[in-house]
Chains A and B, each alone.
Chain A
Amino acid sequence: MAALLTPALNAAANPKDRSEVTQTKFDCLSRKTALILFAVAEAVLGEGFLKKAPRFIETVDDFLNYQRPAQRDQFLFALLIAETTFGLTIGGQFQCFSHLSIEDRRKILEKLRSSNINLRRNIYAAFVNVSASTYYASDLTWPDLGYAGVSVDHPEILNQPPPIPWRPEDGRPIEK
């Protein structure tokens, strides 16, 4: 079904242009789906999310290469469906998803989350999982979590003298 409807939905989609989305070349996204993705991510993550995840769009685009093509097509289809139909069918407003305020987009997310329809809950899960995992993949978000980073970048994590912080009751030095 996705293959049949995607061209029509793509033609109908007219996502709000955002100056933050500067990319013009994509592997899997298009300019339109990139703008819809931005609108989705902004609803999931909040305004200004690119400040801490500046490569958000490129990262998702790159990841889509590795997905099974059928699953990737479903994700892109979900973006187009969200843009062209959710404003009316779920939000009750004659506006496309990306043109809605963050608050209204979040109301739609909330309705997707609690829907009795499996497909809608799956779309909710896909949108929040992709947005949240891509955002927290960025180093700039890690200080908010208290995550010190990976050992190959920060060998001191492994080499500091005992007590090693994640073994608070164990004073033994790590094996050489």
Chain B
Amino acid sequence: MAGTIVEGRNVTDNRTLAPDFCIIGSGAAGGVCALKLTEAGFDVLVLEEGINIPQDDGPAPGQKRKMLNEREVDMYKLLYQEGGTRLSKNGAIKIMQGRCLGGGTAVNWSACLPPRLETLDEWQKRGLPFTRQNLDPYLHEVVNYLGVVRNDKYNTSARKFMHGCARHDIAAENLPNNTKKCRECGSCGVGCPYDRKMSGFVKWLHDAFILGANIYTDTKVDRLVSTADTISEVQAHFIDQKSRPTKRKLVVKPAKGVVLAAGAIGTPGILMRSGLDLDGRVGKFTHIHPITMTIGQYPEKTFPAYGVPDNMWTPKFGNGPTGYLIETGSFFPVMSASSTLQHGDELHRIMRDYYATGAISYAHHTTGFDDKEKYGTVELDINGDPELDYKIPQANLNPMRESVVMMARIHLAAGATSVYVMRNPPLEVKSDADFGEIRKIDFTRPQSASIFTVHVMGGCQMNKNEKRRCVNNDFTFRDKTNLWVTDGSIFPTALGANPQITIYSLALWASREICERHQRPFEFNHQGGDLPWPHY
């Protein structure tokens, strides 16, 4: 029998529930665990802080989710942490993280890359059990279940990128997506209204729900209550449509355990609020992939919002502890305007000049491999909400400059007449002679450039080093025998690749550990075939 989805904003009483497992967070890790634990016969309850995204046909042909209207102004506030305005503590880095049913899977650009092999090697040195070989069945399960495809319908940004890369003899490759018959609206980042992206609420959570999992949305977890080596209670409250507490509470008393999957800022935040900070270890060594971005201006209209956003990349610069992956995307008015660092007539000129004829490329930068660096720290603010204190590491400074130079070079080779670099003050690059200006940008100085991240990892890491370890190799949280941490917070370093597939795979592994502990079946149901990444 199917489960229920309860929207916390509509709950008018205080409630106490007693499932087998309480899963906190419905993103990539929470969705996987919900399905696999429900398949294993457990009574599963998922708590999600963000809103429900109900299946409800909209007025547009093929629209399956009426509330997903593609409008940035509505979707950022409803689907993202802090209304899409989450910043690092020093204000320097915009942190885009999902907060809705499906979490990051609802708002990511559907890029599907495997874990970087050299990252897995690094993790093994830190005592983690994952290898390319032993992850293989998990990767197959994820890829086949989601139907990851090599979609070769390229938008203008991707085409310009391919052209520019060819001129410089740089390998540009297809980047697989978890989409099915994509309609090319370009709106992955604000939620697919057509259910063509295989988000958590289309796949994992949907299937878990059909099998009986119960889901509460608009439900913010306050703390976990511990007794000796177990978690006895999860305390939460409901929030209204404007994210304010409704004064109604939820208490969950799980019979078998708690799965923490609230993301690499949310998970440490809950642990710290619960007094489970392991003498200050929790929240430390949090990593991001800082993003640098460029927009090329071309002689013709480019329609930059439309088309598959993220199916073209180059791995050429991705190796090493500070390597970077250049990918292409789609872009929209609000996203563009919030990155210009401009005012007055220049703001409007840049918006006009670079929007209608613009093509975008951006680079995710790898961090986290230097054991002497502190990287980021998740802290609690004055109200007990988590925030990330992060400064761009010095080791990433030159790679960030070089990624901008390389993206500008590719744009110019593709025929761009000018390349907009989101420096403060803004920089328009028209030839190689301008690259010297890029190499002067101090990305470590807040507001010297617009810097984003959409990938936050670590903060509750798996590690053989006792001084750093928060999570054991079976995904349990140190001495708590019924608390599992299954999201990207367990990463000891940044991944160096879009993390969706890796988080899914490790959450599958964690689900198997939980099932084995309780002597319940764990089955792979989608094996066989080739993985969609050549040479992997």
Contact = CB atoms under 8 A, between A and B. Distances in A.
B341 A69 contact: no
Interface string B90-102: 1110000000000
Nearest to B381: A70
Contact of B425 (A45, A113, A144): A113
A146 B298 CA distance: 14
B306 interface: yes
Interface in B330-360: 332-338, 340-345, 347-348, 351-352, 355-357
Interface stretch (A10-18, A84-92, A93-101, A158-166): A158-166
Main secondary structure of the interface of B (DSSP, over half): loop
B418 interface: no
How extensive is the interface on chain A, given as a class?
A: 35 or more
Contact of A176 (B58, B87, B181): B181
Interface stretch (B66-74, B125-133, B206-214, B505-513): B66-74
B302 interface: yes
A132 B307 contact: no
A137 interface: yes
B340 A137 contact: no
A150 B382 CA distance: 39
Most buried by A among B70, B155, B344, B387: B344
A174 interface: yes
Nearest to A55: B73
A45 B241 CA distance: 30
Nearest to A43: B343
A175 interface: yes
Main secondary structure of the interface of A (DSSP, over half): helix
B447 A62 contact: no
A150 B71 contact: yes
B4 to A, nearest CB: 26
B534 interface: no
Contacts of A131: 343
A151 B343 contact: no
B527 interface: no
A158 B185 contact: yes
B443 to A, nearest CB: 14
Interface in A28-44: 43-44
Contacts of B77: 62-63, 65-66
A164 B348 contact: no
Contacts of B60: 151-153, 155
Nearest to B302: A166
B82 interface: yes
Interface in B21-80: 58-61, 63, 68-73, 77
Contacts of B243: 65-66
Interface string A123-141: 0111111011111110001
A10 B323 CA distance: 48
A165 B301 contact: yes
Contact of B91 (A70, A109, A126, A151): A126
Interface in B232-263: 242-244
A122 B58 CA distance: 40
Contacts of B307: 166-167
A172 B345 CA distance: 41
B156 interface: yes
A113 B383 contact: no
Contact of A66 (B242, B345, B355): B242
A135 B344 CA distance: 12
B187 A137 contact: no
B184 interface: yes
A166 B385 CA distance: 42
Nearest to A126: B91
A50 interface: no
B295 to A, nearest CB: 13
A167 B155 contact: yes
11 contacts: A46-B344, A65-B83, A70-B385, A113-B343, A114-B425, A122-B92, A122-B447, A152-B68, A153-B60, A157-B306, A166-B302
Given A62-B77, A65-B77, A152-B58, 17 more contacts: A43-B343, A44-B344, A65-B83, A68-B387, A69-B385, A109-B344, A113-B425, A121-B446, A122-B446, A127-B343, A132-B337, A145-B351, A150-B185, A151-B306, A165-B303, A166-B303, A168-B159
